Structure 1
Amino acid sequence: MSLADPARSRALLIGTAVYEDSALPALDAVTNNVTDLAEVLTSPWSLGLPPGHCTVLHDPGAVMEVGEQLERAAEQAEDLLLVYFAGHGLVDERGELHLGLRTTRRGRLKWSGLPFAHIRECIAGSPARNRVLILDCCFSGRAIEAMGDPVSLASAQVEIVGTYTLTSTSATAPSHTAVGARHTTFTGALLELLRSGLPGGPELLTFRVIYEHLLRTLVANGKPRPEQRGTLTTDQLALARNRAPRLPAVPADGGVPVPSPSDARKTVEFGRHDLEGSVRRRKALTVVLTVLLLAGLLCATVLLKWDWQAVVATAGLALFPVLIVYFWAWDRRAYLVLSRSTLSFTDGFGRKVDIPWPDVDFIGLLHTFDAVVGEDITTYKNLLVVRLGPTSHDFGLSRLTWTVPYLRGFGYHALCGLGDLSADPVLLRDSVIELAGPRYRTNDELLNLDPRLS
């Protein structure tokens, strides 16, 4: 985890605030976005870029103007290439994203807009060790689909090594700007974090930390949900030093610092407590029935003077219900354990899988899923599903009780029904976000990512 080398890095900041087409309203906050972000990136507590390594384009009018600057930055960058755009994002009739320039015409988008495909090609061809794209515009989430589709309908995930994409919205949502605000909502939250820091956070603000903070802050305030797509270890690249670093409390006697409560919380469990209590109750019932059976046989032998053949026959017949209760007492239920490093799941037969979080693309709750096998349709409800990364093996997930082959054919693994864990979906979501970053997906988000799940 480190900051990029400013001497070997380049940043290109593009902002289109005014438009000649009256159908595209002005975005006054965009000018401040670009100006203030340049100030931050050139500051010593951020990347510390030399002014000549941070190029700012205000209201560019031609695709060529942007293309020349982008190619120059891409060719010169060796450590980090950072490209930022704020303005109108426009989608053509084929659903492809174009970035709006000053001379862009909504009705002539093909000839006047900047196709995102050009930016993608230029960034992908850069020799920079790390490449970062930040988009603050309507429908900017479509850039994630173009840079590396997280849920490909045709094949496994497609990733562009070394590219990290951070966008202000999902692929189908508009961006947001408060009336009269100095910055757009997304960039304003980003600048506030970089300038003020994150109390209790790490020494360096990596893109993972930045995204998790933006996700919590924006969603909690009812703003559009930002999206990200990173590859390999790019999310460990830092954008700035934390100006409000975590300082553990030091005892008055100068002893060992006391860890914060959030550090002490290592794991969250679902289902285990309920399981242990159930097993104890069922074991107790088995013992009681066994004692009653032995007492009854003893009374029959002494008081009724049964011979040993009658006692054995009666004991044999009475043994069946005891055995049934015994096996019922050992019935197992699924449970899930989340830690800062691992997702651990145990199914109803005690089969356990441990999956490191870096190998998990996302985990989510699917309200209903109809599996069609031949002429039969099986409906599953409230499925807890996991999708692994493109380079991960299945960690034994295919051996679990709750396998849904039809889902697995799409690249998903169903762990269990939510009711089997007695889990609150809100608590589960918050626990995943806290312990593993923004890997949790709601039912609607799963359906938006992959319509085959509907």
Structure 2
Amino acid sequence: MRQSAPRFPDGAASRAVLIGCSDFADIDLPAIPAVKSNLTDLRSALTDQPHGILPPEHCRVLADPADHRSVGMALAQAAREAEDLLLVYYTGHGLLDEDGLLHLALSSTDPGHVGFTGVPADLVKRYLGRARARLRVLVLDCCFSGRAVAAMTESGSLLSAQLDVSGTYTLTSTTATAPSHAPPGQRHTAFTAALLDALNQPEPLTLDDIHQHIDTVLHGMGLPRPQRRSVNAAGDLALVRGPVQPHAGPPTGSEGEIRFRKAPPDPPARSRGDLIQAVLMIAVPCALAVLFGGWRMTLIGAAAITLFLGLVLLTLLLRRDIHHDLVVNSDGLGTEHGAHSAHVPWKDVECVGVLRRAPGTLVVPNVLIVRLKADAPHPPGFHKKLNQRLPDRRYVVAGMLGTYGADPMRLRSAIEHFAGGIYRTDQQLLEMDPRLR
């Protein structure tokens, strides 16, 4: 329902900077594929002809910026040029440092050193504060983004000092403690999908109307509710002059399962390699037998060695044709190695995560580990040798990610999609049980 009559900014005197990070170098920051569509479709809406408020050249998009410099330069330029409206939008991961200060993750951000590798909210505040624009709009679609609103109501809050800028409207995707939602397989994150839907209404909505529309949509989906804070009555500003139609996305139904399988080598290259390997394995022992074994033992020794190595080669070739699958679905987590399989149901799982190295080793990276509930039975069929190194039978090593060609960030997204918030980072697993080191 319309709360007030909208007012529209002067497009020629307005600027927008849209920042989004979908891919991250650190294993503890899962990829968010929907970020790319968030940026593309929001820019299309803001610059839509004839209903957008901005000419295309006044809306700058930074997709997967790797460092602070590109972000800072874009914000500084927009702050200098904007006279009526400055809009800053971020979509990606929101992280907190040890002092509880909000940071926006970049592609190279290290969660263990957020203060040095993320973009501090204070940096955004400085550029917003320096802008000549009459109105500043800050939109955050990330986890913990609600802290930019909720924490500002606390007396003496550091975040209040960061984002309490005169003439600023702050709109966030979630509350102070809840994660933001990015459903696998959907074109947009939940918040930005609702934002784009608000911009496509028959009549233009003000920022307060947009917040109410998003709140209705997310609350109806059972998701955390968006937060807002308006300073100096910026809530009657509209971001479009009429309905805009975002690009059509894929069907919203979730996948029945997500399967990880390492891609096989290219067949022609594999055949040539196998032939060369076979020739060498036969020729080398024959030559050694002739050279050191004497003529009497040459034929017998060469035949025995060749037979043995031939059997080894045959075993390796047969194993190459066996698929190694890691399967995540609504029932649980499982592995399939040819005719052998193992499975652990979610009802028996307390938490699951990826250790950077196997317990008690120095050379086995990215190990998928499951912590079972106290009364759960120990599932058979998983990696025996690595499981022998575990502290007790409440743990199960499901396998090494490299065996399945599993992208750790996509794996985390799959687990969170099917099992909820049971995923733990490497650091969280070690803090929970130092014996895993």
Give the TM-score normalised by structure 2.
Answer: 0.52
Larger Rg computed on CA atoms: 1
Deviates more, 1:19-28 or 1:39-48: 39-48
Who is 1:417 aligned against? none
Please state how far the C-alpha of 1:242 moved relative to its aligned partner.
Answer: 4.1
Please state how far the C-alpha of 1:153 moved relative to its aligned partner.
Answer: 5.8
Please state how far the C-alpha of 1:46 moved relative to its aligned partner.
Answer: 3.9
Q: Distance in 2 between matches of 1:64 and 1:144?
A: 26
Who is 2:29 aligned against? 24
Aligned counterpart for 2:41 among listed residues 20, 33, 36: 36
Query: What SS does the aligned partner of 1:72 have?
Result: helix
Q: Distance in 2 between matches of 1:25 and 1:154?
A: 30
Aligned counterpart for 2:84 among listed residues 69, 75, 79: 79
Please state how far the C-alpha of 1:154 moved relative to its aligned partner.
Answer: 7.9
Do the aligned partners of residues 154 and 84 (structure 1) sit closer, same or farther apart at CA in structure 2, a change above 3 Å counting? closer
Do the aligned partners of residues 94 and 46 (structure 1) sit closer, same or farther apart at CA in structure 2, a change above 3 Å counting? farther
Contact 1:204–1:241 under 8 Å retained in 2: yes
- Please report the RMSD computed on the Cα atoms of aligned residues, expressed in angstroms: 2.0
Please state how far the C-alpha of 1:232 moved relative to its aligned partner.
Answer: 2.1
Do the aligned partners of residues 219 and 45 (structure 1) sit closer, same or farther apart at CA in structure 2, a change above 3 Å counting? farther
Who is 2:100 aligned against? 95
Query: What SS does the aligned partner of 1:140 have?
Result: coil
Query: What SS does the aligned partner of 2:95 have?
Result: strand
Higher relative contact order (CA 8 A, sep 6+): 2
Q: Distance in 1 between matches of 2:114 and 2:123?
A: 14
Who is 1:222 aligned against? 222
Q: Distance in 1 between matches of 2:50 and 2:206?
A: 13
Who is 1:120 aligned against? 125
Who is 1:152 aligned against? 155
Do the aligned partners of residues 161 and 19 (structure 1) sit closer, same or farther apart at CA in structure 2, a change above 3 Å counting? same
Please state how far the C-alpha of 1:82 moved relative to its aligned partner.
Answer: 0.2
The answer to whether structure 1 residue 109 and structure 2 residue 86 are counterparts is: no
Query: What SS does the aligned partner of 2:187 have?
Result: coil
Do the aligned partners of residues 145 and 121 (structure 1) sit closer, same or farther apart at CA in structure 2, a change above 3 Å counting? farther
Q: Distance in 1 between matches of 2:52 and 2:171?
A: 17
Who is 1:164 aligned against? 169
Amino acid at match of 1:106: P
Amino acid at match of 1:232: N
Please state how far the C-alpha of 1:145 moved relative to its aligned partner.
Answer: 5.2
Contact 1:41–1:49 under 8 Å retained in 2: yes
Please state how far the C-alpha of 1:243 moved relative to its aligned partner.
Answer: 3.0
Q: Distance in 1 between matches of 2:76 and 2:150?
A: 22
Contact 1:45–1:240 under 8 Å retained in 2: no
Please state how far the C-alpha of 1:3 moved relative to its aligned partner.
Answer: 1.2
Amino acid at match of 1:20: A
Give the TM-score normalised by structure 1.
Answer: 0.50
Q: Distance in 2 between matches of 1:177 and 1:171?
A: 17
Please state how far the C-alpha of 1:45 moved relative to its aligned partner.
Answer: 4.5
Output aligned runs, 1:298-337, within 5 Å: none
Who is 1:233 aligned against? 233
Q: Distance in 1 between matches of 2:46 and 2:106?
A: 23
Q: Deviations over 1:351-396 (max 9, x none)?
A: xxxxxxxxxxxxxxxxxxxxxxxxxxxxxxxxxxxxxxxxxxxxxx
Who is 2:192 aligned against? 187
Aligned residues between the structures: 236
Do the aligned partners of residues 209 and 154 (structure 1) sit closer, same or farther apart at CA in structure 2, a change above 3 Å counting? closer
Output aligned runs, 1:265-284, within 5 Å: none
Query: What SS does the aligned partner of 2:100 have?
Result: coil
Amino acid at match of 2:137: V
Aligned counterpart for 1:52 among listed residues 39, 57, 68: 57
Q: Deviations over 1:235-273 (max 9, x none)?
A: 0111113439xxxxxxxxxxxxxxxxxxxxxxxxxxxxx
Do the aligned partners of residues 154 and 225 (structure 1) sit closer, same or farther apart at CA in structure 2, a change above 3 Å counting? closer
Please state how far the C-alpha of 1:22 moved relative to its aligned partner.
Answer: 1.4
Contact 1:3–1:47 under 8 Å retained in 2: no
Amino acid at match of 1:24: L
Q: Distance in 2 between matches of 1:46 and 1:11?
A: 16
Output aligned runs, 1:318-357, within 5 Å: none
Q: Deviations over 1:275-302 (max 9, x none)?
A: xxxxxxxxxxxxxxxxxxxxxxxxxxxx
Contact 2:150–2:175 under 8 Å retained in 1: no
Q: Distance in 1 between matches of 2:150 and 2:180?
A: 17
Q: Which sections of structure 2, spanning at least 5 residues, go unmatched?
A: 1-5, 245-437
Who is 1:419 aligned against? none
Q: Distance in 2 between matches of 1:224 and 1:20?
A: 28
Query: What SS does the aligned partner of 1:240 have?
Result: coil
Who is 2:209 aligned against? 209
Amino acid at match of 2:41: D
Q: Which sections of structure 1, spanning at least 5 residues, go unmatched?
A: 245-454
Amino acid at match of 2:205: L
Do the aligned partners of residues 77 and 112 (structure 1) sit closer, same or farther apart at CA in structure 2, a change above 3 Å counting? same
Please state how far the C-alpha of 1:44 moved relative to its aligned partner.
Answer: 2.8
Q: Distance in 2 between matches of 1:171 and 1:45?
A: 37
Please state how far the C-alpha of 1:92 moved relative to its aligned partner.
Answer: 1.1
Identity %, equivalent residues? 47
Q: Distance in 2 between matches of 1:187 and 1:31?
A: 11
Contact 1:134–1:165 under 8 Å retained in 2: yes
Aligned counterpart for 1:6 among listed residues 4, 11, 14: 11
Please state how far the C-alpha of 1:128 moved relative to its aligned partner.
Answer: 0.2
Q: Distance in 2 between matches of 1:215 and 1:116?
A: 24
Q: Distance in 2 between matches of 1:68 and 1:79?
A: 20
Please state how far the C-alpha of 1:160 moved relative to its aligned partner.
Answer: 2.7
Contact 2:94–2:103 under 8 Å retained in 1: yes
Contact 2:16–2:86 under 8 Å retained in 1: yes
Q: Distance in 1 between matches of 2:199 and 2:38?
A: 13
Please state how far the C-alpha of 1:144 moved relative to its aligned partner.
Answer: 2.3
Q: Distance in 2 between matches of 1:145 and 1:225?
A: 12
Do the aligned partners of residues 217 and 9 (structure 1) sit closer, same or farther apart at CA in structure 2, a change above 3 Å counting? same
